[in-house]
Amino acid sequence: MSVIKSFAVGDGDMFYIRHDTDSFTIIDCFLNEQNEHIILGQVGPIRKSKGITRFISTHPDIDHVRGLDALDAEIGIINFYCVRNNVTKPEETAGFTKYCELRDSDKAFSLRKGCTRKWLNESDTTRGGAGIQILWPDTNNPYFKDALADAEAGASANNISAIIRYALNNGATALWFGDMHKDFIELIEGELQISKANLVFAPHHGRRTGRIPRSLLEKISPKIVIIGEGATEHLDYYVGYNTITQNSAGDVIFECVTGKVHVFTSKEYEVDYLEDEGRTWGDLHYVGTLNLS
């Protein structure tokens, strides 16, 4: 069994994967005065229970690195994954300063299309791989190079986001796109080697500016699209696809087992496309079960 959690943090993103192997992965960070104690209280014990903990940064904008200093103080990040960059900010927050410190340290590993690393996606006699593949960036792609140059010149870093795929053996697959914009996805779509995925975390917090092009959605054929906490008037609700909207659902937790995904939320939430298997998990609300067959 593995668990994927998408935290409801407001105007930001933060996720974790508690793997079925000896690994724990945190993707992005958004801690503030209201949630810091709660989230650190959850990730701290999981970190202690796993032999390998890694932090993956999709891109270095404040809504994805806020509170990274506090997270590092709590868990001690020693495996830091990010797209290679020299992005700077006119006003450096504590989270971004910590990002740069980790990015420029010997703890960093550069994300790029097809990269491999022991225990990220390779196994040995010590422990199994975590099932994580990096589908983008292609660092030689001219559109990526332009986006990187723009970000390093002070523009938004959204389009240097990594695309991350997680797969549980005989279980669920999930995709993250960071804050990549729709028009950029359209530019690189022909270079993307993306197969079907059960769970897709909509780019750019579910905003229309990050809408996944329909031609790519047809290839991915997601069972559930998770729409983040963008302002309601800016959201794309992915008509024609099953969705969970975090503005209403709160935290979303996916308990991934062989052939199934049990879905829970921190707020009461109902959908009509999942089966009822009567699951419970503490004070979480059971939404239903996705059968993958």
Domain ranges of the chain: 2-247
pLDDT, tens digit, for every residue of 27-41? 999 999 999 999 999
- Is the pTM above the cut of 0.95? yes
Quote the Cα angle for 111-40-282, to 5°: 110
DSSP assigned state of 122? B
User: Which of 82, 60, 65, 64 lies closest to 154, judged by CA?
Assistant: 60
Omega before 137 within 30 of 0, i.e. cis: yes
The pLDDT value given to residue 91 = 85
The pLDDT value given to residue 92 = 86
The pLDDT value given to residue 175 = 98
Tokens of 184: 């950029």
> Residue 29 forms beta bridges with which residues?
65
pLDDT, tens digit, for every residue of 74-97? 999 999 999 999 999 988 899 999
Judged on CB neighbours under 10 Å (0-12, 13-18, 19+), 84 is middle
CATH superfamily, domain at 2-247? Ribonuclease Z/Hydroxyacylglutathione hydrolase-like (3.60.15.10)
The pLDDT value given to residue 293 = 84
**Mean per-residue pLDDT pooled into runs of 10, the chain (293 residues):** 97 97 98 97 97 98 98 98 96 95 98 98 95 98 98 96 97 98 98 96 97 97 97 96 98 98 98 98 98 93
User: Rounded distance, CA 191 to CA 186, Å?
Assistant: 10
In degrees rounded to 5, what are phi and psi of residue 234? -105, -5
Sign of CA dihedral 269, 208, 159, 197: positive
Total residue length of the chain: 293
Core vs surface per residue 110-136: b (16+ CB within 10 A) or e: ebbbeeebebbbeeeeebebbbbbbbb
